[in-house]
Structure formats: C-alpha cells, structure tokens
Amino acid sequence: MADPCSFSSSSRCLTRHLHLLLHLDFSSHVIRGKVQLTVEALEDRLSVLTLDTRDLDIHAVTVNQQPVHFSLGPRHSFKGTPLDITLPSHLSRGQHVIVEVTYKTSPLATALQWLTPEQTAGKKQPYLFSQCQAHHCRSMVPCQDSPAVKHTYYAQVSVPRDLVAVMSAVRDGQETDPEDGSRLIYRFRQPVPMPSYLIAIVVGDLESRQIGPRSRVWSEKEFVEKAASEFSETETMLATAEDLAGPYVWGQYDILVLPPSFPYGGMENPCLTFATPTLLAGDKSLSNVIAHEIAHSWTGNLVTNKTWEHFWLNEGHTVYLERMIGRCLEGEPFRQFKAMGGWKDLQDSVNTFGANNPLTNLVPRLEDVDPDDAFSSVPYEKGFALLYHLEELVGGPEVFMGFVKSYIQRFAYNSVTTDQWKDYLFSYFKDQVDVLSSVDWNTWMSCPGMPPVKPQYDTTLADACIALAQRWIKAKDQDLDSFRESDVTTLSSHQVIEFLSLLLQEDPLPLTHVKKMQDVYNLNAFTNSEVRFRWLRLCVRSRWEDAVPMALKMATEQGRMKFTRPLFREVFHFQKFAAEAVRVFLTHRAAMHPVTSGLVAKELKVDVGAAQ
Ligand code: BES
Ligand code: ZN
C-alpha cells in the first residue's frame, strides 16, 4: 500500500538512520545542510532511489562517497519535487548504502518560520522554528518523508553564539564551530527510530528551567517562570501515562513554549513537546494539551500511522489516552465532560466540511488531497467516539485500556494501518467476536458525517453549563435582568468554555443578549484563550461591531490555527467587515506562519500565490 503523499517508495528501500549537518543563516533565512541517509534496500536489483524534497536547492549527491547522477522531477503543488538518485551499482535486498545530499533550503520553506527580533518577546535576537507534521519535513531535509519510514538521527547544528539550538532529541553537548569562532555547534542524538515528521528544531534566545526529574521547560526568558508553573503537573502526567501505557522510552520529556505564531496548540516532537503560548492561562486549565502530547509518546511516536489516511490511529488513540490521564487525575465525571465537549467539536467539523464531505470519513482517501486541507477534529473525535463505543461494548475503561496497552506493545517501533489495528482488536477480544461483529464498521470507517452511534455521556459537570446556556437561549428581553455575575464565577474555566460552546451551536443570540452578557459577566476581561476565542466568535456572529477589532486582534496577535482560521472566517462572513478581514490579513500576512497564511488566504478567497 503506497503513501499518496510521498514520492519515496518505502516498499523498495528504507532509511534506517539520518545524520544531519545544518548551518543556519539568519540573514538570508536559509539552512545550508548536508544529510547522510543510511538506506537499506528491500528488494534485489534496486537501481534508483527517490527522496522527497520541496523547494530545496540540491548541490551534490554521493552514494558511499562516490558522486552520482541525480535529477529533480516536476514540482507537485503540495507533495513537492521527487529527487531521483541513480545508484552506482544495483543493490541487493538487505544491502545498506550511505546517500549524502548537500543542499540549501528556500527562505519560503513551508516547515520553517524565521522570525525577526521584533517578532520575538526579547526583541533582540532572531528566532527559527520548524513544524514538519504532516508533510513539511521535505522542505527542510531531503528524505523519505512518509510516516511508514522510521529511523534514528544524529544532528550537528551551527548557529551564532548568542543563540541556543534545541531539537526533538537528547542533547549531546556543544562546541565552538571549528570553521567560525563566532558560532557554536549544538549536537543531538535520537536513538529511538521515529518518522521524519518528528524531526524538529528551534533556535533562539532560549532559556530553560527544570520542572521534574526528566523535564525542563524552554522558552524566551520572558515566559520561563510562567511556563514552569503552568506545566508543573508534567511529571504526574508522565507517571500516570506510564501506568496506563507502559514505559516512557524517550528519556527526556521537555516542553518548549514557542512564539505566538506557532500554528498548533501542541506538537509531540520526541523529547521536546512544542507548545503555543496560548496555553499559559495561569490556572493550568489548558494542561490537557500537555497530557495529549505526552500520550503521543506512545500513540503516534511509538506506534505510528502508516500514512496520513490512518491519522485517526495517531489522534483518536491519543485523545483516548489523554482523557484516561484526565480520568486518573480528575475522575470519571471529568472524562465524561471532556468527551461530551469533543462530540460537539466533531459536530462543528462535520458542519464546516458538510455531512457528505468524504474528508469527514474516519479513514479518508487522500489521493491528491493536501493533508493540511484535510485537517479537522474528525480523526480526533470520531476516533475517540469509536474507541469509547468499543470500550462500552467490551466491558469498560479498564478492559479497553488493557487492549490499548497491548496494541502499543504489539506495534511499538512500527507504523500501522487501520486494518492491522482492527485485526489486532479482533484477536485481542477473541471471546467477544460476536459483540465486535455487531459494530457497523463500514459506516464508522468509510462513511461521511456523524458516527452511527451517539454515546450517552454523564452530564454531572455539564448540567450547569447546559442550564445556563438554555436560560440565555430562551430569554426574552424582559428576562435579561435575571442574569447575575455569579452565573459564571461559580463555574470552572472548563465549564465557561463549555457554556460558550453550547451557545455557538445555536442560532446567533440577539445583539441585546450578548451586550447584556458583557455587562453582567465581563467576558471581554477573560484572558483564557479558549474562553476569549469562543466569546469573540459569539459576539461577531451576533453582529456586534465592537467585537470585530478584538476578533481580528486575537486572530493576528497569536497564530494558532484553531483560533486564527475561525476568527478570520467569522469576521469575513460578517458582510460589512469582509473587506476589513481581508485588509488585516494582507497587512499581517508576511509576519504569519507560511502554512497558516496559505490556509487563511484560501478561506478569505485571497488570490493564493499572488503575494509571497
Ligand atoms: N500532532 C498534533 C498537531 C498536528 C496535527 C500538527 C497534524 C500538524 C498536523 C498535536 O498532537 C495535536 O493534536 N494538537 C492539538 C492538541 C489538542 C487535540 C489537545 C492542538 O494543536 O490543538
Ligand atoms: Zn495530537
């Protein structure tokens, strides 16, 4: 089964190790790189080897130190450009060669965002970060850029002395660059085989602080203290995850807080989770994102989806484990509450994509689909809903967690498809094959829209949110004086988020209602990013003009796509301000992450590719 998103044929050869030499040039936004790939032939008479690249400038290729012929194929819109390398002699099955590629990245590499000093908190030094998942590693390193391929890596990174480099690996010391005394070389080793999408690098004016026996937080110094207290539960979560899923094999578990333009909430880079600063709520209420990234240490990083069509194996199991960690730390009602919120996120994604859209299938076909365009809550929450449904069928959380742990041990260090997962499920529960056969597998896996079964979650923690939302939905103008500040001050941040999510599922409230809500609850003063995001969307939907500049401010001051894309979309659909949304986007575009700006441009119907 081929990977529709990669030109490199992982059925014919596999990269086992990758040795990286990177020289960062902040003035030209270019990485000069040399990569040595240890490649094993999987078949006899192997004569050509294809690597993935995207916008790379290839200077030279050698195989076992001999210069060889290479050619670049036509450029594909999102897959990039295949690099065909002619082997000096035919390889036989099992044979290893070292392929060395000398290259330069493009300043527009989609995996990278180069920040000017003005775009950082410290304002003095530039900054670089990478985001390779799903298919962007190829714009930073020529490689077999498919999650079916796993390898170890070693890296040496040369940077200006004032900057610090970290990677998704164990730190292995540093030394002055022998070729330039004004630079340092940082070394890293990743001894656990992992897919290319987990290669990650950050270079900036970084500091760190220990927060646990195997954990540090990293960020610009302005955020270190806040991050250390926000993420103080890290070791407890790690230990809980080990109880549930087995030993943590990656040694270190550090967290790096990125600048606000980081496009995701979190990214499970091995040894070094990347996190958006929008998690710094002050009350640890968004720590489930850390539980989620910790969980990926097993589901995703140890057991990996074979292609992006099986992405739900990564994310569905990770959400399941994340909520099991939440269950251990906060109790079952909390898990039920979060599961219910997840169902709503799934409903939102299905509404946005359309209930007949094949991208809402749990296992979508991604032939000629850019994984960034396919991204949504579906693999997360339809995946979770399926696992929760199975949990109920086979005997509850302990029983089903036994399966998940066994699945992890069975497929550790490998990449798997949905069929392999399902076969293992049936063999693990061989005494309950009848129950499993009663599941409507075809609808769950291969049909669009909401799942065939809606789980009945316990509403203990949601009841207060549901009741309050209902009061607002039903309120006539003369009822508005019945609302009190204590309606929300008695709720947890989780519940305020849920209350707003419930309102967002309904028709827009009358403008009088949201204005009154502001008067009584002062939601404008809430700094929790998940609260603010939902509140501003609600206001814009009710056509409150005062909220438009606040929504656009949030959309541009941070760049987490989960917030930025819907905020731009919401203002764009407020017809009077559609042009303003486009204007603000165009003003900020150059400072945005390349993937975020590409996706927002599509949403605002701005001529994609015209600028940049
Ligand atoms: N691996 C994902 C982020 C990702 C997915 C990046 C696909 C690029 C392509 C990460 O683990 C994730 O799911 N993050 C979520 C956390 C949430 C579900 C708790 C996020 O960013 O919001
Ligand atoms: Zn995830």
Tens of pLDDT along 65-76? 999 999 999 999
> pLDDT averaged over the chain?
98
Q: Which amino acid is at 544?
A: W
Counting ligands in written order, which one lies closest to the CA of residue 269? 1
Q: What's CA 227's distance to the chain center, in Å? A: 19
Mean pLDDT of 317-338: 98
**Helix/strand/coil for 75:** coil
CATH number, domain 463-611: 1.25.40.320
Q: Provide the β-strand partners of residue 86.
A: 48
Residue 247: is its pLDDT beyond 80?
Answer: yes
Residues of the chain with CATH 2.60.40.1730: 13-108+134-196
Question: Dihedral sign, CA of 437, 439, 442, 444?
Answer: negative
Cβ < 6 A, ligand 1 pocket: 133-134, 264-268, 288-289, 292-293, 296, 315, 375, 380, 562
CA of 212 to the centre of ligand 2 (A): 23
Percent of the chain with pLDDT over 90: 99
CATH topology of domain 307-461: Neutral Protease; domain 2 (1.10.390)
Helix (H, G, I), strand (E, B) or coil at 103: strand
Cα dihedral 451, 452, 458, 463 sign:
positive
The boundaries of every CATH 1.10.390.10 domain in the chain are 307-461
Two structure tokens written together for 109: 């590499």
pLDDT (0 to 100) of residue 612: 44
Mean pLDDT in residue range 175-186? 98
Gap from CA of 253 to ligand 1 centroid (Å)? 17
Domain with CATH 1.25.40.320 in the chain: 463-611
Q: What is the mean pLDDT of residues 95-105?
A: 98
519-532 pLDDT, tens digit each: 999 999 999 999 99
How far apart are alpha carbons 10 and 142 in whole angstroms? 14
- Binned at pLDDT 50, 70 and 90, residue 607 comes out as confident
What is the SS3 assignment for 229? helix
pLDDT at residue 608, rounded to an integer: 67
**Counting ligands in written order, which one lies closest to the CA of residue 200?**
1
C-alpha pair distances (Å), 379 with each of 7, 303, 314 = 24, 16, 8
- In this predicted model, what pLDDT tens digit does every residue of 126-142 receive, in sequence order? 999 999 999 999 999 99
Kindly indicate the confidence band of residue 609, based on its pLDDT and cuts at 50, 70 and 90: low
- Give 545's contacts (C-beta < 8 A, 6+ positions apart): 576, 577
Residue 326: in which H helix or E strand, if any? Answer: helix 311-330
Among 153, 253, 264, 380, the one annotated catalytic: 380
| Residue to mutate, 129, 257, 267, 595, ligand 1, most ligand atoms under 8 Å from C-beta | 267
Query: 13-108+134-196 maps to which CATH number?
Result: 2.60.40.1730
Mutate to test the pocket of ligand 1, among 197, 276, 292 (most ligand atoms within 8 A of CB): 292
pTM of structure: 0.98
Active-site residue flag, 43: no
User: Catalytic site residue 248?
Assistant: no
pLDDT tens string 471-490: 999 999 999 999 999 999 99
Cα–Cα distance measured from residue 3 to residue 42, given in angstroms and rounded to the nearest whole number = 17
